[in-house]
Structures are given as structure tokens and as C-alpha cells.
Amino acid sequence: MATKIPLTSVTLPGHRAPGAGFEAPFEMLGACHERVERMLGLLARLQQHVLVRGWDESVASAARDVMRYFDQAAPLHHEDEERHVFPPLLASGDEALRRVVLGLQQDHRDMEAAWVGARAALASVTQEPPAGWAHFSPPDEATLAGFTRLYDRHLREEDGLVYPAARARLSAGALQAMSADMMRRRGLEPG
């Protein structure tokens, strides 16, 4: 009997996470980062499982979970940042902060491009692979590892520098507008 890859509870993309809702947009963005880290952890466990045990249905299930998150929630999260977090920092006059934000914007484009290859590698294991398939190819492993690496510095810079700086520059009204926009783009009714 195949050992199932341990999954953590993941909320539906774009919906409330425990303890963080759209009424607190920066807490919601932080909760999204926690989900990104959980999905990247799941991706690492999936790769290890394939390496040690090969393919089984738990691999397919985990691959679908990772794909669903990065297909649906990650693009919405990046758009939240592009619309609401980055603009006040780009307009701030702080050149060091501006350079960091420009780098984060480039990261978003790089992540989107890298996801194409990572998604293809994951899609290859959402159903039982052909006879003789034993594990991801070295290029697929490199693609998945590269995708994961893109997030490390990115999340640290956003959590440690960019989110606090943006929060300090946004008025209560701007935070409310941010919250309403985040909800509206997810098909939720602002309260």
C-alpha cells in the first residue's frame, strides 16, 4: 500500500484563511504567503515521495493541489500587490525601496514564466505516468527547484520590508478600498 503524502489543510484560493480576512488586507496578504510556503512545502514532499517511492495517487492529488493554488490564488495575490502595495512605494521618493519594489515586480513576471514549466512537470503526474516512468527528469527537477527558489527572497522582502512600508503609507480609506477591491476581484461582496 502506498504511503499518502501528508497534506495540510488548504483553504480555497482567494477565500478567507484562519484568522485573516479581507477586512485586514495586510494580514490577508501575510496569510497568502503562509499558503505559498505550505504549497512549496507540499511540492518538495511530492518531489521527495516520487524520488523514494515513485508515482501513486497521492502524488497526483498533491500535484493537483499545487497546480490549483498557483493557477488561481497566486495570480490574484500578485495582482493585489501590484495594485495596492507597490504603487505607494514607487511614488514614495525612497530610491532604495523603489529598487526593491521594481525587483519584486520583475519577480512576479519571472514567477509567471517559471510556472509554465513547473506546471507542465506537475501536470505530467496528475495521472498515472506511462510504463517505465520512475521519477521526474533532471530538467523537470531543475524547473521545479527553480520555481521554488524564486519565492524565497521575494517573500522575505515583502514580509520584512515592503508590507510594513506600504502599510505605513496607506490611509484607513486606502486600506478599505484595498479590501473592497480584493474582495470584488474574487467575486465576493464587500461588507
13 part of a folded domain: no
191 part of a folded domain: no
107 part of a folded domain: yes
38 part of a folded domain: yes
Which domain does 72 fall in, by range? 25-128+135-185
62 part of a folded domain: yes
Q: Residue 85 sits in a domain of what CATH number?
A: 1.20.120.520
Digits of tens for pLDDT over the chain (191 positions)?
A: 444 555 333 333 444 444 456 788 999 999 999 999 999 999 999 999 999 999 999 999 999 999 999 999 999 999 999 999 999 999 999 999 999 999 999 999 999 999 999 999 999 999 999 888 889 999 999 999 999 999 988 999 999 999 999 999 999 999 999 999 999 998 887 66
How many residues are recorded in the chain? 191
Identity of the amino acid at 41? G
Nearest Cα neighbor of 148 from 52, 54, 48, 61 is 48
Residue 2 pLDDT: 44
122 part of a folded domain: yes
Give φ, ψ of 147 to 5 degrees: -60, -45
The region that residue 185 occupies, defined by phi over 0 for left and psi between -120 and 50 for alpha, beta otherwise, is alpha
17 part of a folded domain: no
3 part of a folded domain: no
Coil, helix or strand at residue 38: helix
pTM of the predicted model as reported, rounded to 2 decimal places: 0.85
Residue 191 pLDDT: 60
Domain count, the chain: 1
Residue 189 pLDDT: 79
